[in-house]
Amino acid sequence: MTISTKDRAAIGLGGQHPDLALWWDLAGSGFMTSTWFTGELPAFVRAWNEGWVERARASDLGASWASSLPESLDGTLTAADDRVGEANFLDKRHTFPYDAPDLSKPPEDKQRAQWASFVYHSPLSDRWVLELAGRAVESLALGSDEHVDYLGVSCSACDIVGHATGPYSREVTDLLLRDDRELGKFFALLDERVGAGRWLAVLSADHGVLELPEALLAQGVDAGRVSSKELSAAVKGARAAVKARFGDDFFVDSDASGIRFSAERLRAAGVAPKDVRAEAKAAFAAAAPWCERVFTWDELAELDPAKPWPEDLRLQRHSFEAERSADVLFQPRRGWLVSVGVGTSHGTPHPYDRRVPLVFLGGRVVAGGDPRAASPADVVPTLLGELGLALPAELDGRPLPLR
Ligand SMILES: [Zn+2]
**Residue 71 burial (10 A CB sphere; 0-12, 13-18, 19+):** exposed
Strand partners, 365: none
Residue 287 alpha carbon to ligand 1 centre in Å = 28
Q: Quote the ligand 1 centre to 392 CA distance (angstroms).
A: 30
CA of 275 to the centre of ligand 1 (A): 34
Gap from CA of 121 to ligand 1 centroid (Å): 13
Q: Any idea where the domains of the chain sit in the sequence?
A: 2-198, 224-338
Q: What's the CA-to-centroid distance between 239 and ligand 1, angstroms?
A: 30
Residue 395 CB coordination number (10 Å) = 13
| pLDDT tens track for 190-219 | 999 999 999 999 999 999 999 999 999 999
Nearest to 198 by CA among 135, 134, 145: 145
- The pLDDT, as a whole number, for residue 267 is 97
Report residues near ion ligand 1: CB below 5 Å. 159
Ligand 1 center from residue 255 Cα (angstroms): 17
CB-count exposure of residue 278 (10 Å: 0-12, 13-18, 19+)? middle
The answer, yes or no, to whether residue 104 has pLDDT greater than 80, is no
Centroid of chain to Cα 329:
21
User: Which residues, including other chains, have CB under 8 Å from residue 183's CB and lie 6 or more apart?
Assistant: 130
CB 280 within 8 A of CB 259: yes
Q: Looking at this protein, which amino acid is placed at residue 195? A: G
Residue 158 alpha carbon to ligand 1 centre in Å: 9
**Continuous H helices in 201-342:** 213-218, 228-246, 263-269, 273-287, 297-301, 311-318
pLDDT at 312 over 90: no
Please check the confidence at residue 108 and state whether its pLDDT lies above 90: no
What pLDDT, on a 0 to 100 scale, did the predictor assign at position 199? Answer: 97
Q: Report the separation in Å between the CA atom of 258 and the middle of ligand 1, taken as the mean of its atom positions.
A: 19
Q: Ligand 1 centroid vs 355 CA: distance in angstroms?
A: 14
- For the cut 80, the answer to whether the pLDDT of residue 103 exceeds it is no
Task: Tell me the Ramachandran region of residue 362: left when phi exceeds 0, alpha when psi lies from -120 to 50, beta otherwise.
Answer: left
How close is the Cα of 61 to the center of ligand 1, in Å?
24
| pLDDT, tens digit (0-9, with 9 covering 90-100), for 168-196 | 999 999 999 999 999 999 999 999 999 99
Given this model, what pLDDT does residue 198 score?
Answer: 96
Contact 372, 190 (CB under 8 A): no
Distance 14 CA to ligand 1 centre (A): 19
What SS3 state is found at 15?
coil
Instruction: Fill in the amino acid letter for 203.
Output: L
- Judged against a pLDDT cut of 80, whether residue 106 lies above it is answered with no
Domain range 224-338, CATH class: alpha beta
Between 169 and 105, where is the model more confident?
Answer: 169
With a cut of 90, say whether residue 358 has pLDDT above it. yes
Average pLDDT over residues 80-95: 95
- Work out the mean pLDDT of the chain and round it to a whole number: 95
Task: Specify the amino acid at residue 38.
Answer: T
Same fold, 2-198 and 224-338: no
pLDDT digits (tens, 9 = 90+) for 38-66: 999 999 999 999 999 999 999 999 999 99
- Ligand 1 centre from 52 Cα, in Å? 26
Residue 240 pLDDT > 70: yes
CATH topology (fold) of 2-198: Alkaline Phosphatase, subunit A (3.40.720)
| DSSP structural state of residue 368 | -
- Among 8-12, 109-113, 240-244, 307-311, which stretch is predicted with the lowest mean pLDDT? 109-113
